[in-house]
Structure formats: C-alpha cells, structure tokens
Structure 1
Amino acid sequence: MEAEQLTGLEADLEELTFPATGTAVVASIGDREIESVEGSYSLEELVPETDEETFDSPAAVRVQVQRPTVAAAMKQVVEASTTLQNTDFSWTQRRAYEKTFTELKAIDPDDDDDGIQAISDWIVERIRDEETLPTSRAVRREAANVCRTNGYQVSNDEWLGI
C-alpha cells in the first residue's frame, strides 16, 4: 500500500471513534478504495461487516487491510461464523486461520491465490454444513492437502506440515 493512501486512510480512520466494530468501519468508510500490489479493493471487501469484529485503533484497521487477500478470506470466514449459535470464534483460533492464509500466500506469492480461496471456501462450507468452526488443525491439514495436490512441498516442520 502506498504512503499517500495510508495517509488518506488514516485521516478517514481518525474520524471514527475507537474501539469500532467492523459494521461501523464499513458504514463510515467502506467505499474507500485501497490500492495494493494485488489490485484495488474497497475497504468493505476487506473488513467483516459485523458487530462481532472490533478494532481497537486505526492501526488495527490498517493492519487488516495491508494484506488484502488474507483480509478478504478472513472477512468471508468471520461473516460466516456469525451464523453459528453459541459458538465462540476465539482470538487464538482467528489468528491460527489468519496464519494459515498467510502461509498459503507465502508458498507462492506470485500465484492467483487459489489456495487461499479454496481454504476460505472450505471453512465456510464446514460452517454451513456442520454448523461449527473447523479446528485450526483441520484447517492447516486441509491447506497442506491443497498445497500438495497443487505440487507444493510442505514439510512436517512447517506451520502447514501436519
């Protein structure tokens, strides 16, 4: 993300009161366009539109949008998780999912992120079909399967190497 975009985004974020929910961020500045090396995204494509997602500061929103592919995948998962009854999507589980997406991105940074989308879709499907969040271990295992199926080596001492 370019410095001038961050400055503009920071100015927009400073207008919000923090902590702010994803719903409040999207309602206020969701149409803000953000350019990255991966393309152009509106903020609403990267921030979950839910009261369950809370940002403590403008910096937290900025961190969310700096990795647009991971943010878009997490948005899908977080929004799908809000349909579950009596389910706590803990901070540690969110971070484990996020790390899995980040590791998928790192395996082949030049690809079109099919692996990230496949895992995001898989998680959302599990939420819909089984009405529960898959464990972080199950997500990592599925991500490793996707990698191996697509010809990427994943060793046992790596995050995805389950």
Structure 2
Amino acid sequence: MADDKSGRDKQAQDAERRQQEREMDAELERGDEIEPPVDAGALADVEAELEELAFPATGTEVVAAMGDYEFESAERSYTIGELVPETDEETFDSPDAIRVQILRPTVATAMKQIVEASKTLSNTEFSWTQRKAYEMTFQELEAIDADDDDEGIQAIADWIIERIHDKETLPSSRAVRREAAKFCRANGYQVRNDEWLGI
C-alpha cells in the first residue's frame, strides 16, 4: 500500500474496523451482565429475522424491514425501531451488531435518541470512539443505577440532546463522564477516582 494520504486513511479505517469487531465480539461474550436478560426464545426469533436482511444495512433499512418487531426483556417489551437509529449514517455490518443493541436495550434506546438528534448538526461527525465512550458511560450508569428505572441514563441522554440543540455540538466524552459523575454524586452514589466516571 502506498505511503500517501489515501493509503494512511485506508490503514486507519481498517484498524478502526478491526477494533470495532473486537469490541463487538467482547460485548457479545459478556452478554447481558448489567441489563435484565432478554428472553432467549425472543432473541432466537429476532436472529432468524435478521438473517433475512442483507448486510451491511443502514439503520433506516433495519427499521424499515423490522422496526415493528417486538421482543421482551425482563422489565418491558421493546421494538427494534426503539433501539436502532433511523438514519443512513448508522451502518450495521452484521446481525451481531443488531444483537448487541438488543442485549443492552436501555443503552441502545439512549444512543438512538442521541444519534438521531446529532443528525441536525452540520459538519459534525459522531465518531465511533466518541460513541463508544458515550456507551461506556451509559453502561456505568446502568451498573450504578440498576434499581432506579435507568433514571441516570435518561438524565444524561437528555443533557447530551439539550447540548446538541443549544450549543449545536456534541459534548466531549469527558464532559459526558463529568456530567454523569455529578448526577451520581447528587443522587447519593459514590464514584471513585479510579472508575470510568471518576473524573
């Protein structure tokens, strides 16, 4: 490969794709550590439906094909349309990418709201690394706030969306972590300095 800008860009894209695949595999291995479990039968039915889609598929294509498809978690029922952003900028490379959304429905719901709100921004890319940092923050809130109906996740998602609308920019992952830590401390949850939210 030539050592020019396009060659370096391709190498960077390939490295990011490999990292995404490694993280997706790790996420699938962990399964549903934090969130309430999704019924195994429902998951099998969804996976059978996903096999019918041609991948890679955009969020718009996934929602159009199976947005009304409903499945049960231990707490409530969800549709695929509630978890997958309806946008052409969001691409899913395989059924496993959708499965990750299903295994963490509260995080996926918050991320869908943010991705769709970010479509209003011009000249702003919601990078994969920033998205992963947001997701990690939501996962930490899920672990801390597991008994409180995901109040923390929705509060931080609302804060991010407010920043998108008011300041017309995506807040940095550090700012999101800081806001999540403030929320935790204000609600009586201890956040240590050596934790993800300990900023």
TM category (shorter chain) comes to over 0.9
Pick aligned residue for 1:120 from 157, 162, 169: 157
Q: Over aligned residues, Cα RMSD in angstroms?
A: 0.7
- What's the counterpart of residue 145 of structure 1? 182
Q: Kindly indicate whether the alpha-carbon contact (under 8 Å) linking 2:145 and 2:152 is maintained by their aligned counterparts in 1.
A: no
Amino acid in structure 2 at the alignment position of 1:12: E
Q: What are the residue-to-residue correspondences of 1:61-100 with 2, within 5 Å?
A: 61-100=98-137
Unaligned runs of 5+ in 1: none
Q: Kindly indicate whether the alpha-carbon contact (under 8 Å) linking 1:55 and 1:61 is maintained by their aligned counterparts in 2.
A: yes
- What's the counterpart of residue 29 of structure 2? none
What is the total number of aligned residue pairs between the two structures? 162
- Distance in 2, matches of 1:77 and 1:38, equals 23
Task: State the 1:128 CA deviation.
Answer: 0.4
Q: Kindly indicate whether the alpha-carbon contact (under 8 Å) linking 1:100 and 1:159 is maintained by their aligned counterparts in 2.
A: yes
Q: Kindly indicate whether the alpha-carbon contact (under 8 Å) linking 1:38 and 1:68 is maintained by their aligned counterparts in 2.
A: no
- Distance in 1, matches of 2:129 and 2:85, equals 17
- What's the counterpart of residue 15 of structure 1? 52
Paired residue secondary structure (1:28): helix
Q: Kindly indicate whether the alpha-carbon contact (under 8 Å) linking 2:39 and 2:74 is maintained by their aligned counterparts in 1.
A: no
- What's the counterpart of residue 39 of structure 2? 2
Unaligned runs of 5+ in 2: 1-37
Amino acid in structure 2 at the alignment position of 1:143: A
Task: State the 1:58 CA deviation.
Answer: 0.5
- Distance in 2, matches of 1:23 and 1:106, equals 30
- Distance in 2, matches of 1:123 and 1:54, equals 22
Runs of at least 4 residues of structure 1 off by over 4 A? Answer: none
Taking structure 2 as the reference length, the TM-score comes to 0.80
Task: State the 1:39 CA deviation.
Answer: 0.9
Larger radius of gyration: 2
Cα deviations by residue, 1:103-133 (Å, 9 ceiling, x for unpaired): 0000031211111000000000000000000
- Distance in 2, matches of 1:58 and 1:154, equals 35
- What's the counterpart of residue 54 of structure 1? 91
- What's the counterpart of residue 27 of structure 1? 64
Q: Kindly indicate whether the alpha-carbon contact (under 8 Å) linking 1:5 and 1:34 is maintained by their aligned counterparts in 2.
A: yes
Taking structure 1 as the reference length, the TM-score comes to 0.98
Cα deviations by residue, 1:17-66 (Å, 9 ceiling, x for unpaired): 00001110000000011111231011101111111111000011011111
